[in-house]
Structure 1
Amino acid sequence: MILTVTPNPSLDRTYEVPSLDRGEVLRATADRVDPGGKGVNVSRAVAAAGFRTTAVLPLGGAPGTLLAELLGAQGVDVTAVSIGGRTRSNVTLVEADGTLTKVNSAGPTLSAAESALLLDTVRTCDGHPAWIACCGTLPPGLAPRWYADVVARAREAGARVAVDTSGPALTAALSARPDLVKPNAAELAEAVGRPLATLADAVKAAEELRSLGAGAVLASLGADGQLLVSAEGTFYGTAPVDPVRSDVGAGDASLAGFLIAGGTGAPALASALAHGAAAVQLPGSAMPSPSDLRPAAVHVTRELPLDLPLSGSSTR
């Protein structure tokens, strides 16, 4: 069982439009509403793969009620912490060429009591999870060290912990020694304070995060693939994708694939790549099922092309 913690969940509304013309009335060719938030997406992908998962979420108002209902329909168990504010809604516009424009709400402010209750709920959840995945931005009201507190308590209980966040929250979490962190290229560059021009730069940056406390680093490099730097070794993999329909939640699908495949080594990286590649070919933030995966297209190697130029950051 995989437990996910999403302090700032959302309802994600996605509209597909031929093009984004500023100031015009746009007619959507398709639209959908999905449960949102990075940890929420990880749970959805885990459930789609046929594994047990529980999502710990602060929920408030009608959007929170709808989010819980949508997750239940997808086979995700929800442990809700009731809050006074309303769960946020995000909007994504997807153009025909795959370009995404996202408008994300900051989310409701959590009180000190709500913050403490959320932390205690994570600590006392039943189910003996194989992994606890702490994912996404922190809402107003939660200090940057909040994830570090989750990691510390989980490690005391003997659970393995993955953290997928950025900025000060990621830096603070490293001090608690999470078993895995999952930055994308931009987040990895931000964490070490310098741009990453090549795969060699990304490897060095990942090694720095390990020296600061991360047990392993799974870095999403967008169209350039994924990198895993861990005690078992350094691995690089690719999974060609054509066309890209939407990359919303693709990084979350990758993390789910990594965790359900054991969370270590080349097999887990291959699973992460297969899940991420499948997700970008689905609409909105839809999560892939086993029938969507194309494992034969995945390539994982220990022979790293260190001089490979990185084309840019991505959520994938």
Structure 2
Amino acid sequence: MAQGSRQIQSQAQQQVQTLSPQQILVVKLLELPAVELEDRIHAELLENPALEEGKEENTADEYADSDTTEDGMNSDANDYDSLSDYLTEDDIPDYKLQENNRSKDEQAEDIPFSDSTSFYEILKEQLRERNLTEHQCDLVEYLIGSLDDDGLLRKSLESICDELAIYAGIESTEEELEEALCILQDFDPAGIGARSLQECLLIQICRKKDEEKKPNPILELEERIIRECYEEFTRKHWEKIIKKLDIDEETFQEALNEITKLNPRPGASLGEAIGRNLQQIVPDFIVETYDDGTINISLNNRNVPELRMSRDFTEMVEEHTKNRANQSKESKEAMMFL
């Protein structure tokens, strides 16, 4: 015997929210950049006969009679009510759009914005560009975090070894840390990771020598002054340096001028160049929220014209609305077009 089939009918309730055409239009307009919005409005002014450029003239005496409907209500406040017999429910938005295409005091607002990035983050970015082992990366990153604001390493490698073991759970030797420090000292700007001012200046001089790739007597002299006569250099005993290195005063002065161009605080200079980037941002919209939950969006653009409904258009709508009881099919179609 063939087995029969059974159909079961069930009923389910599902809630679906739909957006009206005007709501969709508002969303699309909000997505446009200010320049494209301005072009869109100017194009709409040319294409749409119901729109005109300028402010509403609600206070004009000549329009006093036409601004009221049969019920004595203001027609601007009932734009959609007068069309209720012609439009479907989805065509009538459940909110009124507030036109506000000028910011307060007719002045476009500027918002200062500081993009602050510490030199520690800049150094970590350079670290990620290096092809290092995971252990080396951990050591260099810890050294970066141990630098002072000048970009110098004031701690001894021995104490950093102890800190790594206690606080980070990383076992390392001083030789491994020395190797990691050499990697850090190769970062930009030159002088980062130096353990003293003398080492900071020497790193910068050696970097300049490597970049020139040819013998330079002045650079050689700079290195000798910092390496062999550093104490005399800090005390400004120029005569002792000249005598000790057996050089003439003119050559020494030329080398001294180049040394004074070196940066004793590479970390601070990196912060000034990259970490204090102040920009002026001009927003397209100003969004204001109120305690009652309402939100007001105003344009922050002086080039967007104010819009008003064409007086001829509104008068034709009012005329059709008054006589809608005895309207023909053609009149109703004309009303829909309006």
TM tier, smaller: under 0.3
Q: Taking CA–CA contacts closer than 8 Å with sequence separation of 6 or more, which of the two structures ends up with the larger relative contact order? A: 2
TM-score, reference length from structure 1: 0.22
Q: Which has the higher strand share?
A: 1
Question: What's the TM-score, normalizing by structure 2?
Answer: 0.21
